[in-house]
């Protein structure tokens, strides 16, 4: 615990240290990392609160810069499915439940579906479909790509 505290203090006090690599489990609890202004999440947690806690380590009282969060999610992967579920769960959480009924977020079918691999690649990715719909007008095609 003392070594961890010393490393955090050194990161906070030394502008020459460009980054600190932490997992969401280690970096998400009890730390103040206002020396950081970038957070990269490359493995979304099943629990969106864990990712939010990791972001909040940099976005705290004493932070003087804008904090930018990067979420690295590859289309058609387990991470995409987990991230989409996080977004869904966040919407449910914000909407709240009036009757006190708690939703089960992952049914047995949902859980097994997370690990299904298809040969369709990007064609099966809901995220890719949404990106195509949003940005299809912005594409510039050359003759070689048609």
Which comes out higher in pLDDT, residue 129 or 35? 35
pLDDT value of position 10: 94
Rounded CA separation 79/44 (Å): 6
pLDDT value of position 119: 60
Rounded CA separation 50/27 (Å): 9
110: pLDDT strictly greater than 50: yes
- Is the pTM here over 0.75, yes or no? no
4: pLDDT strictly greater than 80: yes
Helical (H) or strand (E) element with 39: strand 38-41
Rounded to a whole number of angstroms, the CA Rg of the chain reads: 20
């Amino acid at each position: 615990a003392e070594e961890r505290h010393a490393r955090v203090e050194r990161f906070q006090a030394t502008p020459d240290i460009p980054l600190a690599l932490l997992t969401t489990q280690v970096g998400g609890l009890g730390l103040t990392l206002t020396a950081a202004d970038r957070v990269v999440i490359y493995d979304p947690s099943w629990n969106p609160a864990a990712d939010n806690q990791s972001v909040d380590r940099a976005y705290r009282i004493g932070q003087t810069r804008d904090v930018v969060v990067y979420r690295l999610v590859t289309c058609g992967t387990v991470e995409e499915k987990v991230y989409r579920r996080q977004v869904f769960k966040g919407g449910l959480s914000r909407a709240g439940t009036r009757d006190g009924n708690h939703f089960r977020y992952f049914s047995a079918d949902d859980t097994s579906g997370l690990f299904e691999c298809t040969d369709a690649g990007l064609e099966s990715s809901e995220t890719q479909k949404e990106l195509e719909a949003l940005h299809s007008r912005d594409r510039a095609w050359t003759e070689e790509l048609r």
